[in-house]
């Protein structure tokens, strides 16, 4: 399954281990798959605005973490069609304002990397969108009653090499909205849909991992009949960054994986985010998601060894945010 809202993953492919033989999947019912694809495509169309519009979106959220307790945050986006957009994020000590307009980015940030919670909220809103690909095997479609409404629920597996991930999505039988999306251990539940610009968007989103609630998001969206000109003005003391006319990605030179264990073929993954700076090293790495939190510290230590040729912006070395996947084989 491919996620359509992702961070830049320019090194994710380079981080993969040597090619593994693809597991032999059982034959798939063609008509069953066609119905699943139609359900998902209809849900996507229900979520899509009918025309380009000036709009403001505000998400307020609660993040739950046993180490920090319950914390509040906000994310907002104002889009002026064909002109630019403004985003603002606040969570704990982190605050950022980014304005894209007139061929440049004006930004004020307390740190270069946004916290994992902000990144996840951005991925889940306005909705977490996915599509089926060749790795996805549709197992069944059944009707189920959830919160008093009939849902068409698709059970499917994602088969990648030796790993099989069990997934589920549910579409409301009446209005076609995507109400539930489970991808592996992650679960997003959408509810309280409201009409906006010919689309239906969820006012409430709950996000859980392995049955543990991580985020509760409240979403409000407004169409703007008159987007004020100063919306896209650079904030005070902003750093102005011009868009690259030519760009070259960073390329991995030395990317060791953690030492394998003795636990057989099972693999646990830790997804990190960090900045590849002009010196070719990964700086300010943070854990974005992890199958095994007990391996996080080791993953952060290993990533410090990775080296890249830096990305180039108009021929000059340039710092860039990237994601990295570390595979703990047999651990």
The residue ranges of every structural domain in the chain are 23-239, 244-329
Give the model's pLDDT for residue 226. 73
Residue in this structure with the two tokens 């969570």, named with its chain if needed: 91
Interval 126-157: pLDDT, tens: 999 889 998 999 999 999 999 899 999 999 99
Question: 141 with 154: CB under 8 angstroms?
Answer: yes
Give the model's pLDDT for residue 83. 87
Secondary structure element (H or E) that encloses residue 87, with its range: strand 84-91
In the predicted model, what is the mean pLDDT of the chain?
88
**Residue 320 pLDDT > 80:** yes
Give the model's pLDDT for residue 66. 87
Give the model's pLDDT for residue 283. 96
Which range of 51-55, 119-123, 263-267 scores highest in mean pLDDT? It is 119-123
Distance CA 88, CA 218 (A): 16
- Rg of the Cα trace of the chain? 21
Question: Which of 186, 73, 193, 53 lies closest to 122, judged by CA?
Answer: 73
**Can you tell me the mean pLDDT for 301-325?**
95
Distance CA 22, CA 163 (A): 9
Lowest mean pLDDT among 7-11, 21-25, 269-273: 7-11
Band of pLDDT at residue 22, cut at 50, 70 and 90: very low
Question: 260 with 331: CB under 8 angstroms?
Answer: yes
Distance CA 64, CA 68 (A): 8
Q: Alpha carbon of 182 to those of 151, 165, 240, 315: distances in Å?
A: 14, 10, 39, 42
Domain 23-239 has CATH 1.20.120: no
Beta strands (DSSP E) in 81-185 are 84-91, 94-101, 104-109, 130-131, 136-146, 149-160, 163-172, 178-183
Give the model's pLDDT for residue 8. 31
Instruction: For domain 244-329, give the CATH superfamily.
Output: TonB (3.30.2420.10)
Reduce the DSSP state of residue 40 to 3 states and report it: helix
Residue in this structure with the two tokens 């996915």, named with its chain if needed: 130
- Whole-model pTM? 0.84
């Amino acid at each position: 399954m491919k996620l359509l809202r992702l961070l830049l993953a320019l090194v994710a492919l380079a981080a993969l281990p040597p090619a593994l033989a693809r597991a032999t999947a059982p034959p798939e019912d063609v008509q069953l798959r066609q119905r699943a694809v139609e359900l998902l495509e209809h849900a996507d169309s229900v979520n899509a605005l009918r025309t380009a519009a000036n709009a403001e979106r505000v998400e307020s959220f609660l993040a739950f973490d046993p180490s920090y307790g319950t914390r509040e945050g906000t994310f907002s986006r104002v889009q002026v069609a064909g002109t630019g957009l403004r985003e603002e994020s606040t969570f704990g000590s982190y605050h950022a304002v980014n304005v894209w307009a007139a061929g440049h980015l004006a930004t004020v940030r307390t740190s270069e990397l946004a916290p994992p919670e902000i990144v996840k909220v951005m991925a889940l809103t306005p909705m977490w969108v996915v599509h089926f690909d060749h790795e996805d095997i549709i197992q069944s479609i059944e009707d189920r009653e959830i919160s008093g409404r009939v849902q068409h629920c698709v059970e499917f597996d994602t088969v990648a090499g030796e790993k099989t991930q069990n997934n589920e999505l549910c579409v409301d039988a009446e209005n076609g909205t995507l109400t539930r999306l489970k991808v592996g251990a992650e679960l997003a539940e959408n509810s309280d849909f409201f009409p906006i610009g010919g689309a239906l968007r969820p006012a409430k989103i709950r996000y859980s991992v392995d049955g543990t609630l991580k985020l509760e998001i409240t979403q409000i969206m407004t169409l703007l009949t008159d987007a004020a000109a100063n919306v896209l003005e650079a904030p005070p003391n902003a750093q102005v960054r011009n868009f690259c006319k030519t760009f070259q990605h960073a390329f991995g030179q030395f990317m060791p994986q953690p030492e394998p264990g003795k636990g057989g073929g099972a693999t646990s993954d830790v997804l990190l985010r960090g900045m590849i700076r002009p010196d070719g090293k990964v700086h300010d790495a943070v854990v974005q998601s992890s199958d095994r939190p007990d391996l996080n510290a080791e993953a952060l230590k290993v990533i410090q060894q990775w080296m890249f040729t830096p990305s180039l912006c108009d021929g000059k070395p340039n710092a860039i945010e990237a994601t990295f996947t570390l595979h703990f084989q047999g651990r």
